[in-house]
Amino acid sequence: MKNFNSKGVDWDHIRERAYQYALLARLHRPIGILLLLWPTLWALWIAADGWPRLGVLVVFVLGVILMRSAGCVINDYADRNFDPHVSRTRDRPIASGKVSADEAMLLFMALTFSAFLLVLTMNTFTILLSFGGVGLAAIYPFMKRYTHMPQIVLGMAFAWAVPMAFAAQTGEVPRVAWLIYTITVLWAVIYDTMYAMADREEDLKIGVKSTAILFGDADRVIIAILQATMLLALYLLGQQAQLGLAYNLSLLVVLGLMLYQQYLIRYRQPAQCIRAFLNNNWLGMVVFIGILLGKTL
């Protein structure tokens, strides 16, 4: 029985639509928010040489949530003809027919516009940079049709918060910001390749491209090379930002997490590849703790 109020509003329908939109935006799976948030926090703390301004911090945390949600929506819109054929994605709201493509586009625009309203409270340089972030977020989901390296575009989109954070906090984007940007792109290729390894067989059947397919049997070796490169870049970041001993010790924990991820993907079992992907949340947190301690001790 439907729940109408005195004005004829169907609250059950409204709640159901809100629930489906939340599922479409992956609010029930915050891992994507965290993977986008950690590099943003790295950048804010280094840009501010300690605690960033409260207003900037709030805007960027909320912006991360909104833009990650928007990215999930546009991703499912782009994959609406592929997701029904993949076991892991066939129950997503668009693939299962519970949300229409038009609804998804409206939700994407609403989330993006909300994020833009937040950015309008920042300086002009940050506002201008935000257009690049929206563009990257919008084109990433379509790249898997044209290139085996959509993970690089994903990394570029996720990393775009880094120059924006420096612009908002300091009014400029110095070289150290681009080092963090590069680290973030490397990291995204690493963890999203692990994620793609779980879908490799089904992606091959439906024609979706990824680094997991491109790397083939060399996937673990190439991931290891990327991890080593990322670790070296993190060390160089510590030197440039003068983060000290506490940060360098955190990199030992990062190394341990990378080795553990290699252990998880050793047999390329889909469930273990997803576990390795999820483990990257802890890696991002450890780097942030190292930066936090390096800027406060």
Which pLDDT belongs to residue 1?
Answer: 46
| Half-sphere CA count of 234, side-chain side, radius 13 A | 28
> Do the Cβ atoms of 176 and 237 come closer than 8 Å?
yes
Task: Give the up-direction half-sphere exposure of residue 82: CA atoms within 13 A in the CB hemisphere.
Answer: 19
Alpha carbon dihedral 52, 57, 60, 64, in 10-degree steps, equals: 110
Residue 9, pLDDT score: 80
CATH number of 30-296: 1.10.357.140
Tokens of 60: 């960027």
pLDDT in tens, the chain (297 residues): 455 555 668 888 899 999 999 999 999 999 999 999 999 999 999 999 999 999 999 999 999 999 999 999 999 999 998 888 888 889 999 999 999 999 999 999 999 999 999 999 999 999 999 999 999 998 998 998 899 999 999 999 999 999 999 999 999 999 999 999 999 999 999 999 999 999 999 889 888 899 999 999 999 999 999 999 999 999 999 999 999 999 999 999 999 999 999 999 999 999 999 999 999 999 999 999 999 999 988
Judged on CB neighbours under 10 Å (0-12, 13-18, 19+), 217 is: exposed
Please state, in angstroms and rounded to a whole number, the distance separating the CA atoms of residues 112 and 91: 25
Is residue 10 within 8 Å of residue 4, measured between CB atoms? yes
Q: Where are the domains of the chain?
A: 30-296
Among candidate residues 78, 48, 44, 79, the one with its CA nearest the CA of residue 64: 44
